[in-house]
Amino acid sequence: MRHLVLEAVRHERFQVTVVFDGPPPDGSPKVEHLGRVTVRYSGSSSADDLILRILPNGSRASEWVVVTGDRELGSRVRDRGGRVLSLSEWQSRKPRPPRKPAHEPKLSSHDIADWEAFFSSGGDAEDP
């Protein structure tokens, strides 16, 4: 399950916190930071309680989206000012196209000739 969840969120452009019920697998820390993804295990408390503990108070809660099918958790998140999506709503979001560089530099005719010479000679062309 952990692998499937991490694969599902690895291309997101924003910070993602994934909360699992219970202790971490043997040899894993209780909190893992994997780039934009943070994985947390609830230990002896419930994942719902941990989610509510890490959900910020006040206006910052509106910056958070909790993906859950649990009505009680969803209600508690909304009461705190957070947003809630069901798993199907989250999965059906329009995927964002990958970012393209603002400006992709063009190769000069000299650069192209150098690369053609390099590749046509098997990669051992001398520097000009």
In a domain, 19, yes or no: yes
* Of 43, 17, 8, residue with least CA distance to 29: 43
In a domain, 14, yes or no: yes
What is the pLDDT at residue 81?
Answer: 93
Quickly count: other Cβ atoms within 10 Å of residue 24's Cβ. Answer: 17
In a domain, 84, yes or no: yes
In a domain, 7, yes or no: yes
Residue 125, pLDDT above cutoff 60: no
* Angle, vertex CA 68, rays to CA 63 and CA 73, nearest 5: 85
Map residue 38 onto helix, strand or coil: strand
Residues 6+ apart with CB under 8 A from 115: 107
How many domains does the chain contain in total?
1
Which tens digit of pLDDT belongs to each residue from 79-113? 999 999 988 887 787 655 555 666 666 777 777 77
Which tens digit of pLDDT belongs to each residue from 16-64? 888 999 999 898 899 988 877 888 999 999 999 999 999 998 889 998 9
In a domain, 10, yes or no: yes
In a domain, 120, yes or no: no
Residue 14, pLDDT above cutoff 60: yes
Q: Give per-residue burial for 27-42: e unless 16+ CB within 10 Å, then b.
A: eeeeeeeeeebebbbb
pTM, two decimal places: 0.64
Residue 123: pLDDT band (50, 70, 90) is: low
What is the pLDDT at residue 99?
Answer: 56
Percent of the chain with pLDDT over 70: 77
In a domain, 11, yes or no: yes
In a domain, 114, yes or no: no
For residues 74 and 68, the answer to whether their CB atoms sit within 8 Å is yes
Range of the domain at 37: 2-91
* Of 47, 80, 84, residue with least CA distance to 61: 80
